[in-house]
Structure 1
Amino acid sequence: MRKTDGDAWAQAIESVLCYLATEKDHAANTQLSNRLLLEAFARWAVENRLCDPARVTIEDIHRYLARERDRGLAPSSLKSLIVALRHLFFFLRREGTISSDIATDLEMPKVGLRIPRVLSEKTIIHLLSIEYPSTPEGIRDRAILETLYGAGLRASELVGLRFTSFLREERLLRVFGKGGKERMVPLGRAAVRALEVYLREGRPLLLGARRSDFLFVKRGGGPLSRFALNQLLSRLARRIGLGRGIHPHLLRHSFATHLLHHGADLRSLQLLLGHADLATTQIYTHVDADRLREVHRRFHPRGQ
């Protein structure tokens, strides 16, 4: 398509993404996802001679969604697409570019509940009990594992931790989650002890003569990347013979599930995980329900 054909769409997309970032605090990953979805829709619109957003009708949107569905787009991805289109046309109506918000009543597809995979407490204990090398990297890696599981962090939150994020006296971790929202997460003794050893014996040797604001660093002082974090977890999974591997979110899921197993309430768990909506946290109640069914089966007189 000619550059001029998509100018109106390009401007609309840039404007709505700016609105979502500044007024809705959308995280960088969400922004990127919305950009890709909206740019794909814009290309289709231009190919179908809908170069002006004001010319698009609800029938056009339904036609595009049907095409994506026929091409095998998963219900969860289709839901993300509809959300992105709703944002776009809501914004265009608010700015007066279109006369009515044609996407507001788009029906969301039904998305099946995905129960997250979790590690057993026995596996977690095994993972945290293996012998780590007495090198700066080994000391750091133990602290990383204790922090990931001990605080239920996302990968982006872990690699984004600053030196000042660890409040040693209070045994708290200051975490910035999605949309830059801050939360304070308590740390248990094991995580605090591992971090103290890392700060005393590991981090100074990794930094050398350099300085860094980041808590977890690689040799030479650069910040740890998400790729390096995933590589670390893959190595550890192989060491304990875990064929399916480990990723940061698996430890986060395990953190949440184990807290529920031991009596944590859902509202507290929401705050610890940094979920904006309690409904997001409620998925862990389904995981816990599996355990409760097993308890009922084993111990109730009529449970067999």
Structure 2
Amino acid sequence: MNIQGDTWAGALESTLRSLATEKNHSVNTQITNRLLLEAFARWAIDKKLPNPAAVTIDHVHEYLAMERERGLAPSSLKGSIVALRHLFSFLRKEGFVSIDLSQDLELPKVGLRIPRTLSEKDVMQLLSIEFPQTEEGVRNRAIVELLYGAGLRASELVDLRLTSFLPEERLLRVLGKGRKERIVPLGSAAIGALEEYLQKGRPRLLGPRRCDFLFLKRGGRPLSRFSINHLLLQLARKAGLRRGIHPHLLRHSFATHLLHRGADLRSLQLMLGHADLATTQIYTHVEIDRLRAVHRQFHPRGQ
């Protein structure tokens, strides 16, 4: 690989290019790594360090100490360390730096974050609002049904193509993080909403254009993640929900409600597209919290 390690810009571009191709990082991860590494490079340049070869482990510890002092959360600090590990590991492998500084960087312990979810009642309240029988109306219903019915990320939803929907098999083909494909079963409500959109909404939104993205805005252009977030905020207000909602909240609710009703973790992992079962296990903590609440409410000595 032709690495231009004599400058920060060259070193960062070579590293990020390697991560994108060899590590198969998602677009979001690539953007995050770029922002974190560019922040470190700006700090290093201010310190009169012309390129990564001039950096010592003491410099790295100084930078991370500064990040801690400005109140960076452990999870955010962990992201910075992971990005720096990627940088120096790659540069050492390519022979630009003599020592892999990432060897001495320990990740901070990050407390378990229990995801917020909607109750089944709140989801039903959201889905029971009156969607107008317009192109956008039938599209919006299909979007909400799929986000909740298939546990999709916003990025996965906007990336769906016409060929993603397999009506005969009642399945949805989804490209998740790292462009890994998974198959998610669909229920009758999601299928019905999607078929109505394909018949009554999408052809009119498409117009004379050609586009194979599944969800479109008027003029035949694909929707963005921002559009999905804005839509859900509007629908939450219309449904009278006290707090706003976002796509990942529906994804968390999808997983939690399946678990409540007896789904096993391995099946949940496959439907969510988690590479590691440990990621899926966070939902067991949600279930434990629910059981605690039930115990407090109903056991004679639960208080």
TM-score range, shorter chain: over 0.9
The one-letter code of the counterpart of 2:111 is: G
C-alpha distance in 1 between matches for 2:236 and 2:297? 31
Q: Per the alignment, in what secondary structure is the counterpart of residue 103 of structure 1? A: helix
Aligned length: 299
What residue in structure 1 maps to residue 216 of structure 2? Answer: 217
Deviation sequence 1:66-102 (CA, Å, 0-9, x none): 1111122221111100000001111111111122212
What residue in structure 1 maps to residue 80 of structure 2? Answer: 81
What residue in structure 1 maps to residue 201 of structure 2? Answer: 202
CA shift, 1:248, in A, is: 0.5
Tell whether the 8 Å contact from 2:138 to 2:197 is kept in structure 1 after alignment.
Answer: yes
Q: Per the alignment, in what secondary structure is the counterpart of residue 217 of structure 2? A: coil
What residue in structure 2 maps to residue 37 of structure 1? Answer: 36
Deviation sequence 1:157-194 (CA, Å, 0-9, x none): 10111011100000110111111111111001110111
Deviation sequence 1:23-69 (CA, Å, 0-9, x none): 11111111111111111111221221221322211111101111111
CA shift, 1:199, in A, is: 0.8
What residue in structure 2 maps to residue 288 of structure 1? Answer: 287
The one-letter code of the counterpart of 2:256 is: T
Unaligned runs of 5+ in 1: 1-5
Q: Per the alignment, in what secondary structure is the counterpart of residue 182 of structure 2? A: strand
Q: Per the alignment, in what secondary structure is the counterpart of residue 184 of structure 1? A: strand
Q: Per the alignment, in what secondary structure is the counterpart of residue 184 of structure 2? A: strand
What residue in structure 2 maps to residue 130 of structure 1? Answer: 129
- 2:273 corresponds to 1:255: no
Structure-to-structure mapping, 1:76-155, within 5 angstroms = 76-155=75-154
- 2:14 corresponds to 1:11: no
Q: Per the alignment, in what secondary structure is the counterpart of residue 65 of structure 1? A: helix
C-alpha distance in 2 between matches for 1:127 and 1:90? 47
CA shift, 1:301, in A, is: 5.3
Tell whether the 8 Å contact from 2:126 to 2:239 is kept in structure 1 after alignment.
Answer: yes
CA shift, 1:299, in A, is: 4.3
Tell whether the 8 Å contact from 2:182 to 2:273 is kept in structure 1 after alignment.
Answer: yes
- 2:275 corresponds to 1:276: yes
The one-letter code of the counterpart of 2:127 is: L
The one-letter code of the counterpart of 2:125 is: H
Q: Per the alignment, in what secondary structure is the counterpart of residue 96 of structure 1? A: coil
CA RMSD of aligned residues (A): 1.4
The one-letter code of the counterpart of 2:180 is: K
Tell whether the 8 Å contact from 2:122 to 2:241 is kept in structure 1 after alignment.
Answer: no
TM-score scaled by structure 2?
0.95
C-alpha distance in 2 between matches for 1:52 and 1:201? 58
Unaligned runs of 5+ in 2: none
C-alpha distance in 1 between matches for 2:140 and 2:105? 47
Q: Per the alignment, in what secondary structure is the counterpart of residue 130 of structure 1? A: coil
TM-score scaled by structure 1?
0.94
The one-letter code of the counterpart of 1:127 is: L
The one-letter code of the counterpart of 1:20 is: L
C-alpha distance in 2 between matches for 1:143 and 1:102? 49
C-alpha distance in 2 between matches for 1:301 and 1:238? 39
Deviation sequence 1:103-140 (CA, Å, 0-9, x none): 22312122222111110001111111121101111111
What residue in structure 2 maps to residue 21 of structure 1? Answer: 20
The one-letter code of the counterpart of 2:173 is: R
What residue in structure 2 maps to residue 3 of structure 1? Answer: none
C-alpha distance in 2 between matches for 1:257 and 1:200? 32
The one-letter code of the counterpart of 2:285 is: H
What residue in structure 1 maps to residue 67 of structure 2? Answer: 68
